[in-house]
Amino acid sequence: MFLNLIIGFLLPAYLLSAFDKLAAVKGWRRIPEWFLLGLALFGAWPGIFLAMLPPIRHKSSKKSFINLLIAFTLLNIGLNIGFLYLFAL
């Protein structure tokens, strides 16, 4: 199950963030922020956070993105806890 989580969420989000960083450097078309934040809301936030670390450092200095990413991460965690509580009764 943990491997499914990594393959299904963490790795694609990390790779998309890495590609977006490459696109920014090369002047290519970028991946919209709302798409990356949407991925975070659906559980891909660990991969996006990992892409903010070296060597990629994707959007690591953009405070507005970081604030929204943290908010979407907390919302995702809260929803997961809520669903666990709701269906565990």
Query: Quick one: pLDDT at residue 88?
Result: 83
The angle at the Cα of 25, spanning 46 to 27, to the nearest 5 degrees, equals 120
For the full predicted model, state whether its pTM sits above 0.95: no
Residue written as tokens 């491997």?
Answer: 3
pLDDT in tens, 36-85: 999 999 899 999 999 999 999 999 999 999 999 999 999 999 998 998 89
Residue 27 has which token pair? 């002047």
Task: Please tell me which residue, 89 or 70, carries the higher pLDDT value.
Answer: 70
